[in-house]
Structure 1
Amino acid sequence: MKIVLVGYMGCGKSIIGAFLAEKLQLSFYDLDREIEKETQNSISELFQSKGEIYFRKKENEILKALLEKEEDFVLSLGGGTPCYYNNHELLLKEGVFSIYLKASVETLLTRLKQERTQRPLLHNQDEVSLKDFINKHLFDRNFYYHQVSKIVTVDDKSVVQIVDEIIDLLA
């Protein structure tokens, strides 16, 4: 089974994915890291030098390649991945168990205001505009995020609690 974690930036996909993979003794892939490996550029550099359209095409190409692998694994997607090309449809393929890690706006705001410099879409956001930005994105992405097998709310839960909840859903 391919376990794919979906959700807005800052919801914990990478940390939870790595912990889940370790607990299940599966390989772990982070789509952004796979893109960086293939392109030899950071996500920020790709956005700046090649633009978002190039990045989204590369993201779709690498996602398809990962989902075609024969092995079982855990994969964390980028926050926007399900919203471009037919990526949300790929999450419905047989053998793919997709999980939306749902976080409230307040949880995301608390986490993301610390990380603005590392995230290309947030560089120029102050706290007020960041909250509006998150609200708008969540509204725009809501349809895509709900095209998954299951939803797990992450607010006020530890990584261990979230991973245990996911494992229970897999049983």
Structure 2
Amino acid sequence: MKIILLGYMGSGKSSVGKVLSEAINHTFLDLDLEIEKNESSSITELFQKKGEIYFRKKEREVLESILKDENDFVLSLGGGTPCFGDTMKFINKQEGVLSVYLKASNSALTDRLYTEVDQRPLIKHLSSKEDLNDYIRKHLFERGFYYNQASQMVSVDDKTIKDIVSEIVVKLF
């Protein structure tokens, strides 16, 4: 089985993915890291030098390549991955793939991301917590349509990584 974790940045996709992959003995892959390997460049550099459109095209190419792999894995997507083109439809058409939306509230995401603004290209320009909160609210509204197409949804607010992983494992079996 291939498990794809999706949700907004800061929802815990990578952290949960690592622990989940160990719990079910699957390989863990992070789409952003796979793109960086493929491009020999950081995500931040790709955004700065080549722009978001180039990045989204590469993101889709790498995703398609990963999904061709016949081995089982847990894959953490970037927050915007499911929201561009027909990517979510493409994911849902794949045999043996379970997509899981890690749903976090606006306030939880704001608290988590406020300390990481400098490391995240899409929110680097936001200087106040209020601006960040407004930005996230707008994005969650726009992206909710795509995120809610996932096979499963797990709320992550006020839960430990272990609790979230346990909830996903129950949905698998």
TM-score range, shorter chain: over 0.9
Aligned to 2:78: 78
SS of alignment partner, residue 75 of structure 1: strand
Compute the displacement of 1:163 (Å): 0.2
The residue identity in structure 2 corresponding to 1:170 is L
1:17 aligns with 2:17: yes
1:101–1:154 CA contact under 8 A, matched in 2: yes
Query: Separation in 2 of the partners of 1:85 and 1:41?
Result: 24
Aligned to 1:160: 162
Count of equivalent residues: 171
Aligned to 1:47: 47
List runs of 5+ in structure 2 lacking aligned partners: none
Compute the displacement of 1:90 (Å): 2.1
Compute the displacement of 1:103 (Å): 0.2
Which deviates the most, 89-98 or 150-159? 89-98
Query: Separation in 2 of the partners of 1:118 and 1:41?
Result: 15
List runs of 5+ in structure 1 lacking aligned partners: none
Aligned to 1:124: 125
Instruction: Please point out which of 125, 137, 143 is paired with 1:135.
Output: 137
Compute the displacement of 1:89 (Å): 1.1
Percent identity among equivalent residues? 55
1:60–1:85 CA contact under 8 A, matched in 2: no
Aligned to 1:101: 102
Alignment root-mean-square deviation, CA: 0.6
Compute the displacement of 1:85 (Å): 2.0
Q: Deviations over 1:54-90 (max 9, x none)?
A: 0000000000111111001000000000011221012
Query: Separation in 2 of the partners of 1:78 and 1:124?
Result: 19
Query: Separation in 2 of the partners of 1:19 and 1:107?
Result: 21
SS of alignment partner, residue 4 of structure 1: strand
Q: Which runs of 4+ in 1 moved over 4 A?
A: none
1:102–1:154 CA contact under 8 A, matched in 2: yes
Which deviates the most, 46-55 or 118-127? 118-127
Query: Separation in 2 of the partners of 1:114 and 1:97?
Result: 31
Which deviates the most, 89-98 or 17-26? 89-98
Query: Separation in 2 of the partners of 1:21 and 1:86?
Result: 27
SS of alignment partner, residue 50 of structure 1: helix
Aligned to 2:64: 64
Q: Deviations over 1:107-154 (max 9, x none)?
A: 100000010010001111121110000000000001100111100000
